[in-house]
Amino acid sequence: MPRAALVTLVLLAGACAAPPPSAAPPTPSPTREPGTYAVTALLDLSGTRGPRGDAQRNAMQQWADAQRGTPRIRLRITDVGGSDAKLLVELKRAADAGGADAFVVGVPATIDDALSSAIALVKRPVLFTLPIAEPSGDGARWIFGLAPAPDALARALVDALPAHSTPAVVVTNGTLAAGREEQALTATFRADGRPLPFVLSAAPEQRDTFAQRSKPFFSGGAAVFFTGSATGYLDPQRIVPAAAVAPGLEFLSYLTDASDASRLGDAAAAVRWPGLLRPTSSALGTHAATATDALALLSVDADAADPERTRTRIEGGTFAGIATTYAFSPARHTGVDAREITLLAWENGRVVAAQPIGVPVR
pLDDT tens profile 218-232:
766 788 999 999 987
Report the DSSP beta bridge partners of residue 144. Answer: 127
- Of 5-14, 277-286, 330-339, the one with minimum mean pLDDT is 5-14
Look at the domain 150-275+341-353 and name its fold: Rossmann fold (3.40.50)
Give, to the nearest 10 degrees, the angle between helix 286-301 and helix 54-66. 40
CA angle 22, 27, 31 (to 5 degrees): 125
pLDDT of residue 23: 45
Instruction: Classify strands 168-172 and 198-201 as parallel, antiparallel or unpaired.
Output: parallel
Q: Do domains 36-148+283-340 and 150-275+341-353 have the same CATH topology?
A: yes
pLDDT of residue 1: 46
pLDDT of residue 2: 47
Average pLDDT over residues 14-23: 43
Rounded Cα distance between 284 and 83, Å, is: 26
| Cα-only R_g, the chain | 25
Query: Where residue 17 falls among pLDDT bands split at 50, 70, 90?
Result: very low
Look at the domain 36-148+283-340 and name its fold: Rossmann fold (3.40.50)
Cα–Cα distances (Å) from 274 to 69, 182, 252, 288, in that order, read 33, 15, 8, 15
Rounded Cα distance between 333 and 320, Å, is: 16
Rounded Cα distance between 37 and 313, Å, is: 15
Rounded Cα distance between 91 and 15, Å, is: 40
Q: Is the pLDDT of residue 24 over 50?
A: no
Rounded Cα distance between 272 and 249, Å, is: 8
The DSSP secondary-structure symbol of 292 reads: H
Q: Tell me if residue 314 falls in helix, strand or coil.
A: helix
pLDDT of residue 316: 92
pLDDT of residue 79: 95
Per-residue H/E/C for 33-97: CCCEEEEEEEECCCCCCCCCCHHHHHHHHHHHHHCCCCCEEEEEEEECCCCHHHHHHHHHHHHHH
CB within 8 Å of 250: residues ≥ 6 apart: 223, 224, 226, 240, 241, 267, 270, 271, 272
pTM of the model: 0.87
Domain boundaries, the chain: 36-148+283-340, 150-275+341-353
Average pLDDT over residues 280-299: 93
Rounded Cα distance between 85 and 182, Å, is: 23
Query: Percentage of the chain with pLDDT > 90?
Result: 59
pLDDT tens profile 134-148:
998 889 999 999 999
Rounded Cα distance between 87 and 225, Å, is: 28
Q: What type of residue is 164?
A: H
